[in-house]
Structure 1
Amino acid sequence: MARLIYSALASLDGYVEDAQGGFGWAAPDDEVHAFVNELERPIGTYLYGRRMYETMVYWETVDTSGDQPAVIKDYAQIWRAAEKIVYSRTLQSPSSARTRIERDVDPAAIRQLKESSARDISIGGAELAGEAIAKGLVDECHLFLCPVLVGGGKRALPADVRVQLELLAEHRFRSGVVHLHYGLRD
């Protein structure tokens, strides 16, 4: 059975976007990016909300033939090889290959996907992931805490949800970013 995994780069005070919607402060350096690539390599399907998909579709067209760093080229290949499911009521057609649009989040369909998938599944976007966490669908969480306080914005984790976590691993990077890997308990 595949695991449903939520990964996010967040400020130390728990935000994936600041109050202005910016997230440039979370851009990973090559060391963090290479680590993320290894976490993403086993992913067979990405689940996205519309806004996260519109951010991530960059990887469909990024030039990988030029002077891009190796971590960028590697991640583009990882992303392009995976299936994508985008949950949106407004998006009419996908902007990437291997992508389908679903109008509503169906927990039973996600459970079925987990049961039938040979590879792990990633859920991206704090709001979509928060909904999945609240419904008990998420198995693991990778948080990359960046050494910055942004004071407000979009939360990385849902409010008003109580879930027991088990620390599975941790890693500190030279940049001051800390990776925390948690299992979510029922």
Structure 2
Amino acid sequence: MGKVIYWMNTSIDGYIEDADGGMDFMEPDEDFQEAASDHVRRISAFLFGRRLYEAMEAPWTQELGKDGAPAVEREFARLYKETPRYVFSDTLQTVPEGVTLVRREDAVSVVTRLKDEIDGILQLGGPELAVSLLDLIDEFWVYAAPVIIGGGKPYLPVGENVPLRLAEQRSFASGIMFRRYVRPPAGH
């Protein structure tokens, strides 16, 4: 059975985007980029909301990873392109080869089916999509940059209590802190 992992990069105050919609507050070092590539090697599929898909797709399939780019960027771009990608959107009409378009109303049924069919990691990205799939998420991953941005789009805009247990943490030379949370077993 597959496992859904929700992973987003944030500021330490919990925002994935600043008030202007920018994500450039994250300054990853090579150690972080290597860890990201190691993770992507284990991913069976990416599950993206439309905005995150648009932020990732063009750069990693067209611009980044070309000759002359750092080796770690070229490796991540190669892994990204080789991994099946699903984009959940009601506004997109077409997607390139290697990407599957799923309408938002079908998100729960498609992800439930993928969890049953794929024995591996389903990497979820995008806060609105994560909220709609909250009950299907097995782990929550946060890479927090050492910056306070004071507002913007939160990591997970839910209005309910979701108890989690810290399962792993790691720091990088750049000051980025990784935390992996899992749902506690029922009754705990």
TM-score tier by shorter-chain length is: over 0.9
CA contact (8 A) 1:123 1:129 kept: yes
| Cα displacement (A) at 1:184 | 2.3
Distance 1:180 1:139 in 2: 14
Q: What's the CA shift string for 1:18-49, capped at 9, x where partnerless?
A: 10111101142211111111122111111111
Kindly, what percent of the aligned residue pairs are identical?
A: 32
Query: Structure 1 residues 24 and 89, CA, compared in 2 at 3 Å: closer, same or farther?
Result: same
Unaligned runs of 5+ in 1: none
Distance 2:151 2:65 in 1: 35
Partner of 1:98: 98
| Cα displacement (A) at 1:63 | 5.0
| Cα displacement (A) at 1:130 | 2.5
Letter in 1 for 2:137: V
| Cα displacement (A) at 1:64 | 3.2
* 1:30-49 pair list within 5 angstroms: 30-49=30-49
* 1:54-69 pair list within 5 angstroms: 54-57=54-57, 58-69=59-70
Partner of 2:138: 139
CA contact (8 A) 1:5 1:138 kept: yes
| Cα displacement (A) at 1:7 | 0.8
Letter in 1 for 2:74: K
Letter in 1 for 2:25: W
Measured on the aligned residues, the alpha-carbon RMSD in Å equals 1.4
Partner of 1:148: 147
| Cα displacement (A) at 1:167 | 1.1
| Cα displacement (A) at 1:65 | 4.2
Partner of 1:176: 175
Distance 1:85 1:72 in 2: 22
**What secondary structure, in the 3-state scheme, does the structure 2 residue paired with 1:97 have?**
coil
Aligned residues: 183
CA contact (8 A) 1:80 1:97 kept: no
Distance 1:154 1:146 in 2: 15
| Cα displacement (A) at 1:180 | 0.2
Partner of 1:20: 20
| Cα displacement (A) at 1:156 | 0.6
Letter in 2 for 1:9: N
* 1:152-163 pair list within 5 angstroms: 152-163=151-162
CA contact (8 A) 1:62 1:76 kept: no
CA contact (8 A) 2:9 2:145 kept: yes
- Runs of 4+ with >3 A deviation: none
| Cα displacement (A) at 1:112 | 1.5
| Cα displacement (A) at 1:109 | 2.4
